[in-house]
Structure 1
């Protein structure tokens, strides 16, 4: 196996290994969802309100901590090397997730979930390493393939978690995932190679002093980071009320759980299928055109979803939502690469992960608030409006022109 891997171009070898790594990271982040509340219920005698509160807190704390610490790891990656940060993240998640199988109370689980976020950075540094070492003509396609890895992991994580919990136990599922993350650590150690490039002295100084204030002054980078945040917000906004909306569309006696699961999986499935093709298309026709398509397509799909009358139409439109994600997410990654100095790539991609984590947190809160004020359908109308505002922001910026020259 090692001989075959070494026969590949370095950027392809890294890409294949890192795809598996981000895939397993996505699984590790999402597999707890099917049994989170049930596992928490085993850790104490909680009321229904307490159980809901603790479940939400334990889910959110990982993303909150990740949003805070990701830029710190990204800055260190630019200084010390991205492979080192990949090894740190994978072994850190290995240990933390494995230890979750031994917790005895709610506070231990909360601490370990926070540490899971603190040890994050595998995805952002994978993106940064691939972006930095892939030939420019293949960068869009390569980054699109990585998007399929994290998306597929997030999609299949709940399925794996539910299967492992049923076949073994809640605790054993953590142990198995921890062992898999150790495999990710070993594969990264052996097969991922980073070409070190010597940096001029003054550029090293810039890297050391770079702060979010510096990034905030770069309107292009800030717009791209904000787009990442908003795409995650609209993607995650439906999650809190999905089963309730599906129930509203179903006839009495139909299985709400099964249909809600199918509807929830649709965006991930289409993103995995469409992202590599969009990556190649973007490399060929330009990111500008693909970006326009992604925004317009998302606006139309969300607007149409407002008027669905049955669950099968909802399922189809959610499938199309994943197509818009497949167009937008790789383009954002590619534009970040084009508009970032090589010595700051990891830092900027880490900020991108921070904004993505904030979107994962804010999306469900946004969806719940809109559903409470208006109704379930109102969520999709507001999502379409958000994409419209984001699209207008891009058209008024210099990004479209500068990246086509």
Structure 2
């Protein structure tokens, strides 16, 4: 097996953030063009949402069964998973039909799920309960830099060349992570699990009221993000905007997150979690509803960018709350279940929003999604504080 004598001057949480940043560049490069690629295969914008629900259904199943893999060394698991992800991203360049894409997604989503869970646990392994909130803030802030850079590069490449060129370049980053993983000794915190009982874990997770509420908070956030990353590109394309412009707008949505996510994690000791969650969802709802009252495309896009002010108050805190309220011995059992909240949101969001889009239009769909965020603002107020 590959071995390097050289060790990177970063380790622990810093290394986990570094590889997560590089890995996420792969996903963010294709972000402005993947919905357009799907539409070229399925023909209708609403059907794009349904296909994305199928993708996240697969991810959901794989995340649930990932508990069985987490008994093994996480670095080793990640090596295989990021390599497989790179292969499947590259194979998107030869996909020409829905049937081919379905077969590929069965494998690609497995790697997405494993990477999603393991990278989150690597951050936890390198943190204490006192530092987890800060480390999560840095993690999401750095990741959001890739969400700024990636769409710009992806949009410009698609505009200058082709969408499949974007897929080819995006495949490079997982392979780079694969190589970087060999610079680490591979020693991570491994919780001993003699027997994995998935159904018992699920039952115990959802019997905990605060875990359940936090699950819904994460679900609601991810449902809204499908509006930003699936339907907003489709809407802009319908309005005649280029891939380059789509990439720029998606990049601009990240600016509030880059600015606010680290400061927000420091506010928990003054305001607690539930007030910040509630405030975040209220901001999303306010600016989202405002899009309904203007027909000016660029003003509407500005309001969508401003919804990310609210996201900055929810995104880094949901995982920090999870880790602060759970014993380390419970984390390997419960964390994959908690991570399914993202995929349940990604699954149910498009199912609801695409059905609305089939019978109405983008403006109505955006309005309904924004009103739903008010419900999640109320749900967050029922959360128990950690202190």
TM-score category by the smaller chain? 0.7 to 0.9
Q: 2:237 and 2:69 mapped to 1: Cα distance? A: 48
SS in 2 for 1:275: helix
Q: Does 1:184 align with 2:177?
A: yes
- Normalised to the residue count of structure 1, the TM-score between the two structures is 0.78
What is the 5 A alignment of 1:125-140? Answer: 125-140=118-133
Instruction: Tell me which residue corresponds to 1:336.
Output: 322
Instruction: Tell me which residue corresponds to 2:18.
Output: 16
What is the 5 A alignment of 1:1-400? Answer: 5-6=8-9, 8=10, 10-27=12-29, 32-38=34-40, 40=41, 59-77=52-70, 79-103=71-95, 106-120=98-112, 121-153=114-146, 156-165=149-158, 169-191=162-184, 193-196=186-189, 199=192, 204-205=194-195, 210-237=200-227, 242=232, 256-257=241-242, 263-282=249-268, 286-308=272-294, 310-371=296-357, 376-396=362-382, 399-400=383-384
| Closer/same/farther in 2, CA of residues 240 and 83 from structure 1, 3 Å limit | closer
Q: 2:29 touches 2:150 (CA, 8 Å); kept in 1?
A: yes
Q: 1:83 touches 1:193 (CA, 8 Å); kept in 2?
A: yes
| Closer/same/farther in 2, CA of residues 52 and 166 from structure 1, 3 Å limit | same
Q: 1:132 touches 1:345 (CA, 8 Å); kept in 2?
A: no
SS in 2 for 1:130: helix
User: Which 10-residue stretch deviates more, 134-143 or 28-37?
Assistant: 28-37
Q: 2:221 touches 2:311 (CA, 8 Å); kept in 1?
A: yes
Larger Rg: 1
SS in 2 for 1:136: coil
Instruction: Tell me which residue corresponds to 1:44.
Output: none
SS in 1 for 2:376: helix
- Normalised to the residue count of structure 2, the TM-score between the two structures is 0.81
| Closer/same/farther in 2, CA of residues 245 and 94 from structure 1, 3 Å limit | closer
Instruction: Tell me which residue corresponds to 1:43.
Output: none
The CA deviation at 1:338 is 1.7
Q: 2:129 touches 2:324 (CA, 8 Å); kept in 1?
A: no
The Cα offsets for residues 266-323 of structure 1, whole Å up to 9 and x where unpaired, read as 4333223322232343367543442233233333333433333533432332222111
Listed as ranges, the gaps of 5+ residues in structure 1 are 41-48
The CA deviation at 1:225 is 1.7
Q: 1:388 and 1:300 mapped to 2: Cα distance? A: 9
Count of aligned pairs: 382
The CA deviation at 1:102 is 4.0
The CA deviation at 1:115 is 1.0
Q: 1:281 and 1:70 mapped to 2: Cα distance? A: 31
Q: 2:96 and 2:287 mapped to 1: Cα distance? A: 45
SS in 1 for 2:314: helix
User: Which 10-residue stretch deviates more, 264-273 or 234-243?
Assistant: 234-243
Listed as ranges, the gaps of 5+ residues in structure 2 are none
RMSD: 3.7
Q: 1:106 and 1:167 mapped to 2: Cα distance? A: 25
